[in-house]
Structure 1
Amino acid sequence: MKPAPQSRSKKTSSRWRRHERALEKLRLQLSAQDALAPLLGMALLTGIAAGLVTVGFRLLSESPSGLYLPLPDHFEALPAVWRFALPILGALILAAMYHLIKPSRRHTGVVHVLDRLYNHQAHMPAANAVLQFLAGSVALLSGQSVGREGPAVHLGAASGSLLAGQLKLPNNSVRNLLGCGVAAAIAASFNTPLAGVVFAMEVVMLEYSVAGFLPVILAAVIGSTVSQLVFGSDPIFTVPAIHLNSLAEMPVLLFFAIIIGSLAGAFIHLQRRLAPLQRRSPVVRFLTAGTATGIIAIWVPEVLGAGYDTLEKALLGELALTALLIIVLAKFTTTLLASGLGIPGGVIGPSLLLGACLGCTAGVLTNLWLGDNVASPGFYAMLGMAAMMAALLNAPLAALLAILELTYNPNVLFPGMLMIVAACLVSRHFFHTEGIFQETLRSLNKRGTPSWRQQMLSRVGVASVMERRFAIAPQQLSEQAASRLITTAPLWIVIDLPNEPVPQLLRAADLASFLQRLQEARRQEREDKDEGAEKLIDLLKLPGERLQLAPLNWRATLLEAQVMLEKSGAGGLYVHRGPTVALDNNVAGIILPEHINNFYRQ
């Protein structure tokens, strides 16, 4: 016999309730700061999602180029007329795409990720991610002077954020999964899992902790695994295991590190001036960048795309001194225009090319000055890559590890550290910059790096520290109802005031003391409480301190709670789980300033 429809409905409803209870338990666990085990499970899913999206983006941005290029990124094979026309055609397509989208949905790239992390509780809009996926592919296919890591970071961050949003996880875990997505995307894009981890922690999350590191590491491993299943495990660049020949070369490296740091500082300052133009029409901006790139590409085709093929030539020492200097000047100009005017791509790839060409220049000159007893120009190119990336991004450790994983040459570590220190020192202290992403945020009048206290408060959700021992009561209630309310042993009483804009909070101890005094007075007067009508107790009039309450969503972090308290001027917050702020069964707890202060002092 077939089961009755009502029986099937009950079973389905029972499974749904069990599923919701399991999700509710997971959400509560993830609201805590040290929710390592459930966070690792979510990091695993994020790594898979970010890895798949990044692989899909790379396939879309490379495979169609086989129709007009012998190999991906080999734009030098195109005739001059197409080197001129292709970036302009791509700019027109990008302008048409952006014209059809609302201005609020046009933001893409690493700067957008940081803005959403710092100012929007890490919630990434899906529409912006779709635009980044499509527009980033168009930018790379049309030879714009950008890299693929910017779109990868955006797509990875969106993967983690949207996954958390679908499961309605608390905002502190949304932030963690965004970092996991970034690490997985960088790892999948370049096959550099360790650099992906450090980039996520050093550039995006701005923190180092065991609880923060482990999920990010797992996500990076998964993202890299997904990429290797599709593209293989070979490093992007194949270079010999060359090394520094003599410590006498260290002063030369130091000198060129100062030059690289100065170039990075100049790039950031010019980018900061161009970035406000991103609020203007995308047609004018994109055509300006595309036309400039096309004109320069007629004579210097190496400026097209990220330039990984040219970068490999620099690492192998196959470029002449004049060619190196021309490429640096041309690539600096085209990348600055593309990045500053909002072409949806990244700056890490072009920065590696700039650093490699400058480093190779240093190697060629050193060989001319000191003879053949010095390291090859290719080794200098590796060091230049690390120095430029570190100075431009303000990410010294991520840059060092990226070069190590890209080249598989451990000999870069010792001299690379010296060059990174010198280049970052020049960029930060002589040019007063904090990295291209942070400076671009400021130039767009958006809040940048949070303080360490804000970082601390954003790591924990209100659900893990809120006070759950409370009761909801009307303004007036009978003495019997008040006594029953006190027997449930709440610490606080939320006074429901339907005709007032906000409810109020009363200590349960104040009501208990009032009831005790009332009973003592009645015994002294020998009154029979059963005689006559029982008087109602007005919770707004009995002696005690009352606090006004403002609503707060249960997914919020302690940082959001603090901001809400300051913004509303309320004495406390009631945490609600439902779609409305009504005082009903969806009220989950109470947050007071003392809860935030106690956590801060721990």
Structure 2
Amino acid sequence: MTAIGRRMRAEVVTAVLALAVGVVAGLGAVAFRALISLVHNLFFGGRLSLTYDALVHTDPSRWGVGVILVPVVGALAVVVLVKRFAPEAKGHGVPEVIDAIHFKGGRIRPRVAGVKALASSISIGSGGSVGREGPIIQIGATFGSILAQWLKLPEWQRLTLIAAGGGGGIAATFNTPIGGVIFAAEILIVEISARTLIPVLIATGTASVIAGLFFGDQPSFVIPALTIDPPAVSPMSLVGYSLLAILLGLVGWLYTRSIYWAEDLFDRLPVNDYLRHVIGMLVVGVTIYLLMARTGHYWIEGVGYATIQEILQGTLTAAGFMVLLAGLKLLSTSLTLGSGASGGVFSPALFIGATLGAAFATVVDAVAPGMHLNPVNAAVVGMACMVGASTGAAVTAVVMTFEMTRDFQVLIPLIVAVSLAYLVRRSLMSDTIYTLKLSRRGQQLPAALQSSLYLTRRAVDFVHAPFVVKPADATLSDLPLTWGRRNSHIVLAGPDGGVAGVVTAHRIGEARRSQRSPATPLLDLAGTKPTFAPADAQIVDLIGVLRGSGVHLTVLTEDGARAPARAVKGVLTHEDVVEATNMAQTLRRTPVARTDIAGPDD
């Protein structure tokens, strides 16, 4: 089979597997939401039930003041799960997926999905101020990784299925299929091409259909038509939305920093992990109890969608109270995640953006009614600004917010405001809420995906040095004394004519300088046996093979199979690839020279 045929077959296989990943991501979102419902009803109401609408406020708990301990009990269960089974399940999930993509070759442990689902459902269901999107992204990505590892797929296919699982998960959670694709492209995919995007499209579409069978096709949030006061776009309103964007860009920076400030604070406490999380969730428990006692609702517990829905339907209008809720949500999210919970950061960002956006518009409309800022529209814009500023996924924020609300009137303000909010946060810090966790570990990510056309070139085009073929029983004495200064490799042919090993010019030079015995067999200098690859394979695929195998030598043959030494097309070393991928250098092909086994030694 030709290289083109192999690539086409691999792409078809990846697309078919993406369909399976999408099914699992969709079912995973359904099961995860059911698990949250079960835990929430058990912890707050003391009953076994799967009936739970996140858009409706939770009824007062039957435990009364004892509801303060509900998040505490949940905290103890979460720490047990995380410490004993999967430390990767701690936190908001997406940084661990990014870590697996960039630093672990797309390998995620199978147990992470189960532990993440259980730990996050307990954190959310017991009142922790976190979202459900981060966990389902990690769950979907984990299945994609498991499937690829089980089938022993190359690295590019593993990474693609991880992105497909993550995109499918968030698409199913919010009913945002387009947003899921763009999220995967902005945050998870390391290669933008048809072979990676098509599987992501398949997975997100499939996951959305599966979730729609259970949840229906309605948007995540419902905006009654009467609450939208046209026109939504005017020159003055764009000025107002721009001011809101600047404000939320600053809040996005604060939100990103506050989670890690809280984490550092709890890490400095001279107590164990159990007590750290108990302390954090005890404060959250007291907060939600006081809110219920004074105002009749818990407001900030869990994903907080009920509060967002009240703002969007126009029933929550007190600006001062909305600012208070935004501050309490910021504090409770920082305490929840900083002390050791498991859950996402997307939903709290939506909450903070909606409350501050509506409060801002209410104040501006009272002071400068000529700006025509409607609190509902401003809440929608605020949601997108907070997500775009904190996560760095600006396009995702615009598209997903539009899909979640289907409010056509704010599309242009969304584009303008999110861009500005992103730039404000970017001017204050380069890291996002996802990448800061990795940067604190010393793991630096590329700032952008760049088009590297050389990655599509054939592997044989990167071969820099010629080679000669020698018998496997040849020794150093069979080489001229000048060989150590020559940039030529030696392919050793075994008794059967096959490749027994490869000795690089560098190894010959080292042997000469260390005054190795002339009787030293060349086979002793060959080191690790090389891998085999097709001469016309794309270099991007070969890099994945080298990275996965840990081997630094590749013998290029016609079809990538082991072949007689006479059929070798070239020898590619790790140094060749590094030199060729240095964008500061000019890529050029050096003709490959080869001699026969019985040929001259020159």
Query: 281, 290, 313: which one pairs with 2:281?
Result: 290
Answer 1 or 2: which has greater helix percent: 1
| Counterpart secondary structure, 2:15 | helix
Query: 294, 300, 319: which one pairs with 1:303?
Result: 300
- Structure 1: distance between partners of 2:205 and 2:282: 40
For 2:19, give the aligned amino acid.
L
Is contact 2:79–2:277 with CA below 8 Å preserved after alignment? yes
Query: 220, 228, 251: which one pairs with 1:263?
Result: 251
1:110-509 to structure 2, matched below 5 A, reads 110-241=94-225, 242=228, 243=230, 244=232, 246-275=234-263, 281-300=272-291, 301-319=298-316, 320-371=318-369, 374-429=372-427, 431-449=428-446, 452=449, 474-476=472-474, 493-494=491-492, 503-505=501-503
For 1:77, give the aligned amino acid.
D
More displaced stretch, 447-456 vs 367-376:
447-456
- Structure 1: distance between partners of 2:152 and 2:339: 36
1:528-539 to structure 2, matched below 5 A, reads none
| Counterpart secondary structure, 1:238 | coil
Query: 85, 88, 96: which one pairs with 2:80?
Result: 96
Is contact 1:31–1:462 with CA below 8 Å preserved after alignment? no
> Does structure 1 residue 39 correspond to structure 2 residue 14?
yes
For 1:199, give the aligned amino acid.
F
Say how many residue pairs are matched. 514
Distance 1:379 1:562, change over 3 A: same
Q: CA shift at 1:227, angstroms?
A: 0.4
- Structure 2: distance between partners of 1:116 and 1:450: 17
- Structure 1: distance between partners of 2:443 and 2:569: 33
Distance 1:466 1:345, change over 3 A: farther
Distance 1:102 1:335, change over 3 A: closer
Identity of aligned residues (%): 25
Distance 1:374 1:117, change over 3 A: same
Gaps of 5+ in 2: 46-50, 292-297, 476-488, 506-518, 534-538, 557-563, 589-602
Q: CA shift at 1:321, angstroms?
A: 1.4
- Structure 2: distance between partners of 1:278 and 1:407: 37
- Structure 2: distance between partners of 1:421 and 1:412: 14
Query: 54, 60, 65: which one pairs with 1:78?
Result: 60
Aligned counterpart, 2:591: none
- Structure 1: distance between partners of 2:208 and 2:459: 34
Distance 1:454 1:194, change over 3 A: closer
Aligned counterpart, 2:483: none
Q: CA shift at 1:322, angstroms?
A: 2.2
TM-score under structure 1 length normalisation? 0.74
Is contact 1:355–1:387 with CA below 8 Å preserved after alignment? yes
- Structure 2: distance between partners of 1:276 and 1:32: 47
Query: 512, 516, 522: which one pairs with 1:540?
Result: 522
> What does the per-residue CA deviation read over 1:195-241, in whole Å, with 9 as the maximum and x for residues that have no partner?
00000110122554333222211110001011011111111211035
Distance 1:443 1:538, change over 3 A: closer
More displaced stretch, 110-119 vs 375-384:
375-384
> What does the per-residue CA deviation read over 1:367-424, in whole Å, with 9 as the maximum and x for residues that have no partner?
2123498243111100100111000101110000011110111222101111112111
Is contact 2:462–2:580 with CA below 8 Å preserved after alignment? no
For 1:247, give the aligned amino acid.
P
Query: 20, 24, 28: which one pairs with 1:53?
Result: 28
- Structure 1: distance between partners of 2:474 and 2:413: 76
- Alpha-carbon RMSD across the aligned residues, in angstroms, is 4.2
- Structure 2: distance between partners of 1:348 and 1:136: 14
> What does the per-residue CA deviation read over 1:535-572, in whole Å, with 9 as the maximum and x for residues that have no partner?
xx99739xxxx87656569899544567699x98x6x3
| Counterpart secondary structure, 2:503 | strand
More displaced stretch, 338-347 vs 122-131:
338-347
- Structure 2: distance between partners of 1:551 and 1:264: 50
Is contact 1:254–1:418 with CA below 8 Å preserved after alignment? yes
TM-score under structure 2 length normalisation? 0.74
For 1:258, give the aligned amino acid.
I
- Structure 2: distance between partners of 1:344 and 1:458: 38
Distance 1:219 1:560, change over 3 A: closer
For 2:71, give the aligned amino acid.
P
Is contact 2:29–2:136 with CA below 8 Å preserved after alignment? yes
| Counterpart secondary structure, 1:303 | coil
Q: CA shift at 1:282, angstroms?
A: 2.9
- Structure 1: distance between partners of 2:445 and 2:132: 24
Q: CA shift at 1:331, angstroms?
A: 0.2
- Structure 1: distance between partners of 2:250 and 2:290: 26
Q: CA shift at 1:332, angstroms?
A: 0.5
